[in-house]
Chains A and B, each alone.
Chain A
Amino acid sequence: MANNDKIERNLNGSEAIAEAIFQEMQQDDNTILIGEDVGKCGGVFGASRNCFSEFGENRVRDMPISEMTFTGMGVGMAMSGLRPIIEIMFADFLGVCLEQIYNAIGKIHYMSGGTVKMPIVVKTAAGNIGSAAQHSQCLWGTLAHLPGLKIVVPSSLYDHKGLMASAIRSNDPVIFFEHKELLLKRARSFLSNPIVPKKTYTVPIGKAVKPRIGSDITLVTLSYSVELALESAAEVAKEGIDVEIIDLRSLVPLDIETVLQSVRKTQRLLVVDEDYQSFGVSGEIITRVVENIEPTSLKQIKRHAVPDVPIPAALSLEQVVVPNYESIKNMLIMMAKGS
């Protein structure tokens, strides 16, 4: 496990994102930020701090609680030459504005025969943080199902800044799923890459990364679960189980090649996903693996996700439905025993 005590910039995820937004807005006057409490407040998780005072109200605009309309405004803004970043405070609220996301933002480049681009970022805070059924959902699988949207889900602190910069520069629409745990987690507690350079940089969208190399089991995951997986893998390593972890970074595009290379080596695949299980990320990853690798050459395929229930309020209930350090560790031990 990394010793991060000496990291100079002890940023959290929200500060890394705010820095990317700030720097990108400095570089392009057409980039604007709209959403609820993104102005003076700097975002309820702080992911747009410092932007309002630097760029002013026209470019950093607090919106009324009208998600449906301000998401649609992003479409008109994009058609007029602006590059809007739209903050939807919680991923759970995507339902309120999904129409504009999947019927307009995701389709207009296609419907227009390639003549109209949608350089829009919809950023939103996903993931469980103890806030029960309506403020804890991930929903990246739901959005990844819909054509025309790039789905970016950062894990490491380094990626929070680099992927946000790429999302803002993308001429395609990006739905950027932050995880609340990671927005608040500081560099010194990160297990994956915690170094955030001050200068601008980008991380390409569509390339997975392996924060841990191993030979026994391929664990494919994303977002906060990468941190949990790293912790679990370190623990089971003591018992001689050598886990390779793949952080997908984005669901669309999906870097299946990196997954296939690893699974060919380990022959064992575990997909961990904090989103709902059925018809989602885990099913898609496993399908693509068995479409590409002869199933008989695989020893084990498992998945671990939220078992299709709303996230409960009580901690005792939450712990049995949301993948966590213990549950991931147990899955790894079970798989190792089964081989």
Chain B
Amino acid sequence: MNQIERFKAMVEMRFFDEACLEGVPTMEIHGELHTGIGQEAISAGLLGHLKNSDALVSTHRNHYHALIKGVNPYRLMSEIFEKKTGICQGFGGHMHPFSLKQNFSATGIVGQSLPVALGYAYAFKMRKGDSLAIGVIGDGAANHGTFHETLNIAGAWKLPLLVLVENNGYGISVPISKVLATETIAERAKSYSAWGKCVNGDDPDIVSEAVEEAVDHIRSNQGPAILEAVCNRFRGHYEGDTDHYRSKTEKHNMLKGDPINTYSEKLLSLKVLTENEIQNIVQTSKQKMFGLLKRVRGEKMPLPETALNYIFCEKTDG
């Protein structure tokens, strides 16, 4: 996967979430929304390393992972906007998208993606294929008991599991540095006989290189890997979070290092892209995602009389 593709992916992801933001003040998205804005480089770094049969289990901040895994953006945005055309017909919403076809799922409960990914990994190993499972977590979930339980099992049985930690520095308001016993999360790897690395999560090339290493390790049957990618969460934890716990200076400095700008400058200086080409990509992506938004807004919500559907798949009236 080349750098241009990574850049395009980052820009598309950014505009996807910016389009979603439009639905918050209008109450079209009437619950929580957690965007990945600022964290695009990590998902872009996954590009080209995953097979369709690989599983990815994500978190409350899952849009980018769904897109990278190949979930249809129109149906994903429809789900986020609670529409019948959504991948879950509006029953799941933005924290609970499921797509069996892409082996993609998510959970809204912090830490709970890892056991589910481990279940996939167990099944893959049992079937002797070379598929792997990725469990995505944030830095907050690294302190959940599932982190230890999952990695211990994966390490003990050499299961094909990649734990991808998007370390954006905060669990809502609590800085990870205040609640972590070690310098990094990845250095726990040795406790689990796992591969581990902590990298700059703002540069998709660096992430991609690390993902390649991790995936090679896993696919060659050497057991699990922990890849920690350090990044920034540009907005509050959720839309509506006043984010008063971070200083203005901190936020100012953070935004100066926008990974999309940094990467476009890098590609300019490497002469991979010209200024014109970059502007083209930006405009095309914006049109694409806001075009989706327009279509999604025209879609219908699920019918009220279907609210009791799907509790069970088999008849329960005896």
Contacting chain B: which of A19-27, A104-112, A279-287?
A104-112
Residue B222 at the A interface, CB < 8 A?
no
Are the CB atoms of A100 and B115 closer together than 8 Å?
yes
Are the CB atoms of B115 and A70 closer together than 8 Å?
yes
Give min CB distance, A148 to chain B, whole Å.
Answer: 6
Residue B72 at the A interface, CB < 8 A?
no
Are the CB atoms of B115 and A170 closer together than 8 Å?
no
Q: Which residues does chain A contribute within 8 Å of B123, judged by CB atoms?
A: 76-77, 80-82
For window 184-232 of A, CB contacts with B under 8 Å fall at 204, 206-207
Are the CB atoms of B150 and A69 closer together than 8 Å?
yes
With contacts A113-B89, A206-B318 known, is A104 near B312, CB below 8 A?
Answer: no
User: How many residue pairs bridge A and B at CB < 8 Å?
Assistant: 155
Contacting chain B: which of A114-122, A156-164, A261-269?
A114-122
Give min CB distance, A262 to chain B, whole Å.
Answer: 15
Are the CB atoms of A64 and B153 closer together than 8 Å?
yes
Please encode chain B, from 300 to 311, with 1 for each CB lying within 8 Å of some chain A CB and 0 for all others.
Answer: 000000000111
For window 176-206 of B, CB contacts with A under 8 Å fall at none
Are the CB atoms of A79 and B119 closer together than 8 Å?
yes
Are the CB atoms of A64 and B313 closer together than 8 Å?
no
Q: Which residues does chain B contribute within 8 Å of A252, judged by CB atoms?
A: 316
The number of chain B residues touching the other chain, given as a range, is: 35 or more
Residue A330 at the B interface, CB < 8 A?
no
Are the CB atoms of B314 and A69 closer together than 8 Å?
no
Residue B114 at the A interface, CB < 8 A?
yes
Residue B250 at the A interface, CB < 8 A?
no
Q: Which residues does chain A contribute within 8 Å of B149, judged by CB atoms?
A: 64, 66, 68-70
Please encode chain A, from 139 to 154, with 1 for each CB lying within 8 Å of some chain B CB and 0 for all others.
Answer: 0000000011010000
Q: State which of B124, B311, B318 has its C-beta within 8 Å of the C-beta of A255.
A: B318
Question: Which residue on chain B has the smallest CB distance to residue A173?
Answer: B312
For window 226-272 of A, CB contacts with B under 8 Å fall at 252-253, 255, 257
Residue A35 at the B interface, CB < 8 A?
no
Give min CB distance, B97 to chain A, whole Å.
Answer: 8
When chains A and B are docked, how far (Å) is the Cα of A63 from the Cα of B152? 11
Are the CB atoms of B112 and A66 closer together than 8 Å?
no
Q: Which residues does chain B contribute within 8 Å of A76, judged by CB atoms?
A: 55, 57, 115-123, 133
For window 258-307 of B, CB contacts with A under 8 Å fall at none
Are the CB atoms of A99 and B109 closer together than 8 Å?
yes
Q: State which of B86, B92, B114 has its C-beta within 8 Å of the C-beta of A69.
A: B114
Please encode chain B, from 111 to 155, with 1 for each CB lying within 8 Å of some chain A CB and 0 for all others.
Answer: 010111111111110100000010000000000011001101100
For window 74-114 of B, CB contacts with A under 8 Å fall at 86-93, 96, 98-100, 103, 105, 107-109, 112, 114
When chains A and B are docked, how far (Å) is the Cα of A70 from the Cα of B119? 8
Are the CB atoms of B114 and A72 closer together than 8 Å?
yes
Are the CB atoms of A112 and B98 closer together than 8 Å?
yes
Q: Which residues does chain B contribute within 8 Å of A170, judged by CB atoms?
A: 314
Residue A339 at the B interface, CB < 8 A?
no
Residues of chain A at the chain B interface (Cβ within 8 Å): 32, 58-59, 63-64, 66, 68-82, 84, 99-100, 103-104, 107-117, 147-148, 150, 170-172, 204, 206-207, 252-253, 255, 257
Q: List 7 A-B contacts (CB under 8 A).
A: A70-B153, A72-B118, A99-B112, A103-B109, A104-B107, A113-B92, A206-B316
Given A69-B115, A77-B122, A113-B92, list of 10 further CB < 8 A pairs?
A69-B114, A78-B119, A81-B123, A82-B126, A100-B112, A104-B112, A109-B310, A150-B312, A172-B314, A253-B316
Instruction: Please name the 6 residue pairs, one residue from A and one from B, whose CB atoms are nearest each other, closest first.
Output: A76-B119, A72-B115, A113-B89, A73-B119, A69-B149, A66-B149
